[in-house]
Amino acid sequence: MRGVGWLAFVLLIGGVNSLPAQEGGPSVPLARLMPMPAAVKVESGRLGLDKSFRVGIANYRDARLERAIRRMLVRLEAQTGTAFARDYLKDAAQATLVVEVRGAGEAVQSIAEDESYSLKINSRQAVLEANTVVGALRGLETLLQLVESDPDGYYISLADIEDKPRFAWRGLLIDVCRHWEPVEVIKRNLDAMAAVKLNVLHWHLSEDQGFRVESKSFPKLQELGSDGHYYTQEQVREVVAYARDRGIRVVPEFDMPGHATSWMVAYPQYASAPGPYEIIREFGVFPATFDPTREATFKFIDRFIGKMAKLFPDAYWHIGGDEVMGKQWNENPKIQEFKKRRGFKTNEELQAYFNQRLNRILRKHGKKMVGWDEILHPDLPKDVVVQSWRGQESLGKGAKQGYYGILSAGYYLDGMQTSAAMYAVDPLPAGNGLSPEEAARVLGGEICMWGELITPENIDSRLWPRTAAIAERLWSPREVNNVGEMYRRLDATSLFLEQAGAKHIAGPDRMLRQLAETDDIEPLRELLRLVEPLSLGQRQSASRANQLTPLTELADIALPDAPGRHEVMQMVDELLGDAPGNAARAKLETEFRRWRELREQLDAMAKDAPRVRAADAAMVALVDLAAAGDEALAYLARGEKAPKEWLDAKLALVQQAGRPKGLLRLAVVPAMRRLIEAAGEMSRL
């Protein structure tokens, strides 16, 4: 179906797989929406955007709502180049956009906050209705996604939208401990989160490599545990307020009893083995662990949480609780005696005891516990939230035992998986085997941006736009699952995120200019279209980075889910489709020629920029693939099945090309495998 803007199109749950393609005909409003709303009706016509555009607020209004509308107007002005009136019409009925909110919503946003809204746009007026200010925030983002242009100017597509999230917990973890991320980085990514309707910032604030928040009661934490990189309490309040303005909760994580080296650098008396301790520069799992047998430990934690709880108003508090090594517990005679006296046979039972004590402290200060899989234990109360990094089976197990859960397995961005791979991961997939009551305990999911290989320069391009695809999985109906249409919309969403403030597009260019020491970086841009970074595990196996490693090489700039992966596959699919022709073959021949030219260009660039040599192995393999591709095209053009010997040799070449090339991998390998296999299977085709 093409040209949907010219006719009525109803999108209800289950209808998303018929989303129209963008190419050919008028622009398609639905192709700009991400996350896809629960129900959409798009009609022909337009609501023009010119200087007469005015906003009216009906019923409830407060400062947070007014700030959100002002932000929307600023972005709209930047997009259209038109200055709009910033005051609100007293008679809302005369406004171009009417924002009608029934109430403020919760004083402290919770998982029960109503985020639903409706948006009805006709040729005279747009009306956004919501029960709460947070619902209005979600609707304003959808409104901005509906802005289009043509030779006659800018306009908003006509639509009737009823929308609400599928999951109440839609989070993003940002690890600021392994590598420091300043306040401005957090803020711009909060803006991007709001643009795709994420609603939880999981702020990972303590780790073996750093303690990142100012404590006035225990100042050695930041003085000795942060290398001078920490958030003041005023900055924490600033970020929490900034997030609330955008309908985002902030859940802090202070890791314990393990991953605790930065605690022990400052206060070794609470460790399970004597100090002194030093900040760890490597990445992994390390021995430093709180001593769960001493009352002084819990008094320390009680006082710390009591003070910090005032900075973080959210009801939830993340304790970490993962990957407790147990070495210090095993080697401490007093701890072994404590275990024996209590009847604990395993360290897991000792950790459960620690978590019980910790949970009582959290309750005392008005907080609910969140922790990773390892905290799951029958002795914990049922309002504890278990964050699953081990998989959907672990998530389901917790739900069946009566615990609330959020899924992170499958959403680890440092795995460098494609948007499609993570888009396919559902907290509640069809056939999950849970009863309705059990399924209701699955609150949603969290995307994880761990910090081993992340700096303020490259964090945005590691986050976006892939995170937007997962955000849709957590907001939209399960039936919104067409991968091809997701990628079409993701392209538009990437630009939308840049307008919101993300630097995932500009950031890599800046890093490339620094690496090449020139602004003539087009060959490097082309390289980034075709290669991807290794996963964290692969990278650490090939060349182990630590906290002091400069992360400025090609592998640190390369884009996960590189565009060439999908572009070349689309060319191959077009060639092998129902009506293959010369045009599709010509596209691939041009593509392969570009690869050979690119190698020559990068060779020339490397004479003045030696670090470009990091691409040599990838380029050798790419040129070999180009030659194999040309041969495959020749067989297909002749309608001749390639000999088995040729096919075996070229598939071996593809297999070799799929292995890491230094710290890079070739993104086009799956497409080339498909093309070469097709040349060897002409009889089947």
**The pLDDT value given to residue 393:** 84
**The pLDDT value given to residue 580:** 57
Contacts of residue 453, defined as CB under 8 A and 6 or more positions apart, other chains included, come to 179, 414, 462, 533, 536, 539, 545, 551, 556
Contact 174, 205 (CB under 8 A): no
Return the H-helix or E-strand segment holding 493. helix 483-500
Band (13; pLDDT cuts 50, 70, 90):
very low
CB neighbourhood size of 393 (10 A):
11
As a whole number of angstroms, the distance between CA 145 and CA 493 comes to 8
Closest CA to 5 of 150, 163, 195, 153: 150
pLDDT digits (tens, 9 = 90+) for 332-387: 999 999 999 999 999 999 999 999 999 999 999 999 999 999 999 888 889 899 99
Band (9; pLDDT cuts 50, 70, 90):
very low
Averaged over 319-324, what is the pLDDT?
A: 96
Averaged over 527-545, what is the pLDDT?
A: 97
Q: Is the pLDDT of residue 29 over 90?
A: no
Beta-bridged to residue 492, according to DSSP, are none
Higher pLDDT, 380 or 154: 154
- Alpha carbon 387 to its chain centroid, in Å, reads 16
**The pLDDT value given to residue 10:** 37
pLDDT digits (tens, 9 = 90+) for 390-438: 888 889 889 999 999 999 999 999 999 999 999 999 999 999 999 999 9
Q: Is the pLDDT of residue 251 over 90?
A: yes
Contact 422, 446 (CB under 8 A): no
Contacts of residue 539, defined as CB under 8 A and 6 or more positions apart, other chains included, come to 453, 533, 545, 555, 663
Higher pLDDT, 685 or 232: 232
Contact 366, 316 (CB under 8 A): no
Distances (CA, A) of 332 to 48, 347, 386: 73, 12, 29
As a whole number of angstroms, the distance between CA 499 and CA 467 comes to 16
As a whole number of angstroms, the distance between CA 465 and CA 471 comes to 10
Residue type, 427: P
What is the third-level CATH fold of 169-479? Answer: TIM Barrel (3.20.20)
Beta-bridged to residue 387, according to DSSP, are 372, 406
Return the H-helix or E-strand segment holding 58. strand 55-59
Residue type, 651: L
Higher pLDDT, 683 or 357: 357
**The pLDDT value given to residue 669:** 98
**The pLDDT value given to residue 418:** 98
**The pLDDT value given to residue 579:** 61
Tell me the two tokens of residue 80: 């259209």
Percent of the chain scoring above 90 in pLDDT: 89
Q: Is the pLDDT of residue 578 over 80?
A: no
Q: What is the largest CA-CA distance in the chain?
A: 81
Averaged over 258-286, what is the pLDDT?
A: 97
Band (305; pLDDT cuts 50, 70, 90):
very high
Tell me the two tokens of residue 621: 């393999």
Please report how the helices 483-500 and 183-195 are oriented relative to each other, as an axis angle in degrees rounded to 10.
130
Q: Where are the domains of the chain?
A: 4-163, 169-479, 506-679
As a whole number of angstroms, the distance between CA 375 and CA 204 comes to 17
**Which of 25-34, 94-103, 168-177, 605-614 bottoms out in mean pLDDT, i.e. has the lowest?**
25-34
Contact 53, 95 (CB under 8 A): no
Task: Give the CATH H-level superfamily of domain 4-163.
Answer: Chitobiase/beta-hexosaminidase domain 2-like (3.30.379.10)
Contacts of residue 49, defined as CB under 8 A and 6 or more positions apart, other chains included, come to 76, 80, 82, 147, 153, 154, 155, 156
As a whole number of angstroms, the distance between CA 82 and CA 507 comes to 27
Mean pLDDT of the chain: 93
CB neighbourhood size of 586 (10 A):
13
As a whole number of angstroms, the distance between CA 21 and CA 484 comes to 9
Question: In a 10 Å sphere around its CB, with 0-12 CB exposed, 13-18 middle and 19+ buried, how is residue 400 labelled?
Answer: middle
**The pLDDT value given to residue 394:** 85
Band (5; pLDDT cuts 50, 70, 90):
very low
Tell me the two tokens of residue 462: 């590691």
Tell me: cis bond preceding 26? Omega within 30 of 0 counts. no
Active-site residue set: 323
% helix, strand, coil for the chain, step of 5? 45, 15, 40
Contact 370, 317 (CB under 8 A): yes
Beta-bridged to residue 171, according to DSSP, are 200, 446
Distances (CA, A) of 159 to 22, 73, 102, 337: 18, 20, 22, 69
As a whole number of angstroms, the distance between CA 145 and CA 147 comes to 6
Q: Is the pLDDT of residue 498 over 80?
A: yes
Distances (CA, A) of 395 to 134, 200, 317, 370, 432: 28, 19, 19, 13, 11
**The pLDDT value given to residue 581:** 67
As a whole number of angstroms, the distance between CA 426 and CA 407 comes to 8
Contact 208, 482 (CB under 8 A): no
**The pLDDT value given to residue 682:** 62
Residue type, 265: V
Please report where in the chains the tokens 């293959």 appear, as a residue.
580
As a whole number of angstroms, the distance between CA 349 and CA 577 comes to 59
pLDDT digits (tens, 9 = 90+) for 268-281: 999 999 999 999 99
Judged by DSSP in three states, 106 sits in coil
Averaged over 123-130, what is the pLDDT?
A: 97
Contact 255, 264 (CB under 8 A): no
CB neighbourhood size of 79 (10 A):
16
**The pLDDT value given to residue 162:** 98
Contacts of residue 22, defined as CB under 8 A and 6 or more positions apart, other chains included, come to 28, 31, 488
Contacts of residue 645, defined as CB under 8 A and 6 or more positions apart, other chains included, come to none
Contact 20, 31 (CB under 8 A): yes
Please report where in the chains the tokens 């006035």 appear, as a residue.
216
Averaged over 666-680, what is the pLDDT?
A: 97
Closest CA to 401 of 368, 377, 432: 377
Q: Is the pLDDT of residue 19 over 60?
A: no
As a whole number of angstroms, the distance between CA 285 and CA 619 comes to 36
Please report where in the chains the tokens 């038109």 appear, as a residue.
82
- Alpha carbon 91 to its chain centroid, in Å, reads 41
Contact 162, 46 (CB under 8 A): no
User: Which one-letter DSSP state was computed for residue 544?
Assistant: -
